[in-house]
């Protein structure tokens, strides 16, 4: 005998009401981030040489590099976490952090002041010469 659709629906509703929930009660219940969660891009400003490669590779133009102003900027609402910038950085100073950045209601450009590492000093005398 086929099951009455109303009985089937009621049992499904009761099962989901009493069983474990799939949704989290955010923000009361904080999300769990996995090790490889693509959260946000971070920069180690003491390693950056302002080469602009990351800005050129970024498909959404989320990154701006201001060489004269010695600043690295990111508009996080444009970032799609493709990690192209992380892959291309010659100094490996960009990383993907597994925490999401704080939600915003307006577009914000985050600015990081960069102090490029000093170029190695030329030796004062030629090696082998007095």
Whole-number Å distance between alpha carbons of 74 and 63? 5
**Shortest CB 77 distance to ligand SF4, Å:** 11
* Nearest CB to ligand SF4, comparing residues 24 and 67: 67
Whole-angstrom distance, CA of residue 48 vs CA of residue 64: 13
What is the C-alpha separation between 49 and 91, in angstroms, rounded?
Answer: 8
Q: Which residue lies nearer to ligand SF4 by CB, 15 or 107?
A: 107
* Spacing of C-alpha 84 from chain mean position: 11
Where do runs of H (alpha helix) occur along 1-130? 5-18, 53-57, 84-88
Per-residue contact string for residues 18-57; x = within reach of ligand SF4 by CB under 6 A: -----------------------x-x----xxxxxxx--x
User: Residue 91 or residue 100: which is nearer to ligand SF4 going by CB?
Assistant: 91
Q: Which residues bind ligand SF4 (CB under 6 A)?
A: 41, 43, 48-54, 57-60, 62-63, 65, 72, 74, 79-85, 89-91, 93-94
């Amino acid at each position: 005998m086929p099951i009455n659709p109303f009985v089937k629906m009621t049992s499904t509703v009761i099962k989901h009401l009493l069983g474990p929930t799939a949704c989290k009660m955010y923000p009361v219940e904080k999300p769990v981030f996995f090790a490889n969660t693509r959260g946000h891009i971070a920069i180690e400003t003491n390693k950056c040489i302002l080469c602009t490669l990351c800005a050129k590779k970024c498909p959404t133009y989320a990154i701006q590099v201001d060489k004269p102003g010695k600043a690295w900027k990111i508009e996080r609402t444009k970032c799609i976490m493709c990690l192209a910038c992380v892959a291309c950085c010659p100094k490996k100073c960009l990383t993907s952090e597994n925490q999401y950045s704080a939600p915003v209601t307006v577009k914000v450009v985050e600015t990081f002041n960069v102090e490029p590492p000093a170029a190695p000093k030329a030796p004062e005398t030629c090696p082998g010469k007095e």
